[in-house]
A and B are shown apart, each in its own frame.
Chain A
């Protein structure tokens, strides 16, 4: 059974950094394309980033240069390193496999 469990969210001040993790089971992260999608409170879904099985990465313009997606094949885990955080980055962050299977999300709140 495919399972995705995000962690690492929390309250962080503007300008701070946070690393989100997405522990996967039931499949191999490196064999799929993996995405991060976020949802601000009361808002719709917004795609953040993707990493392909070959290692190529792409980002939404809103996070380019500040966020980095990566994976650790030995831990079968996906990451999202978030730097220079802004209030508008406040959202629930979901990881997704091939846009099929989604985790339960982790809340990131950027506030002073």
Chain B
């Protein structure tokens, strides 16, 4: 059971806009930045969003992130077939035993 909660699946048709939610708590999302990753089958995770809503160079502006309180979301507009992948949210967590990174369980995005 993951500390951050994501829907296990999401879907959309080409050109549509889809959003993936990520719910946490005051010790993680509520007080730290959120990261989003895309993982294609058999490959390493790739950073899509950092610091809640910043895109690394090379990531299309079709991908956007937002955060409000203890929740965050990833939006993908103009959905394309190559966006079919697993998506993970992550955040640092200020636990009593020391800082650690918590992940969501991942959302499998299907492009219909």
Select which of B44, B47, B90, B101 is within 8 A of A104 by beta carbon: B44
Could you say which residues of chain A place their CB within 8 Å of the CB of B98? Answer: 58
Distance (Å) between the CB of A53 and the closest chain B CB? Answer: 14
Report the Cα distance A48→B47, complex, angstroms.
18
Distance (Å) between the CB of A58 and the closest chain B CB? Answer: 4
Tell me whether A94 is interfacial, beta carbon within 8 Å: yes
Say whether A99 contacts B103, CB under 8 Å. no
Instruction: Name the segment of A19-27, A39-47, A69-77, A82-90 touching the other chain.
Output: A39-47
Select which of B2, B43, B101 is within 8 A of A99 by beta carbon: B101
Select which of A37, A44, A50, A60 is within 8 A of B105 by beta carbon: A44
Name the residue on A nearest B97 (C-beta): A61
Tell me whether B85 is interfacial, beta carbon within 8 Å: no
Say whether A60 contacts B104, CB under 8 Å. no
Residue among B97, B99, B101 having the largest count of chain A Cβ atoms under 10 Å: B101
Distance (Å) between the CB of A61 and the closest chain B CB? Answer: 7
Tell me whether B106 is interfacial, beta carbon within 8 Å: yes
Name the residue on B nearest A60 (C-beta): B100
Judged by DSSP, the binding face of A is: strand
Within 8 A of A (CB), among B68-112: 88, 90, 97-106
Could you say which residues of chain A place their CB within 8 Å of the CB of B62? Answer: none
- We find that the number of chain B residues with CB closer than 8 angstroms to chain A is 22
Say whether A45 contacts B45, CB under 8 Å. yes
Say whether A47 contacts B103, CB under 8 Å. yes
Distance (Å) between the CB of A103 and the closest chain B CB? Answer: 7
Say whether A94 contacts B105, CB under 8 Å. no
Report the Cα distance A25→B105, complex, angstroms.
31
Report the Cα distance A35→B37, complex, angstroms.
15
Could you say which residues of chain B place their CB within 8 Å of the CB of A44? Answer: 2, 88, 103-106
Say whether A102 contacts B35, CB under 8 Å. no
Say whether A58 contacts B99, CB under 8 Å. yes
Say whether B106 contacts A99, CB under 8 Å. no
List 7 tightest A-B contacts by C-beta distance, closest first: A47-B101, A58-B98, A44-B106, A45-B103, A102-B44, A44-B105, A104-B44
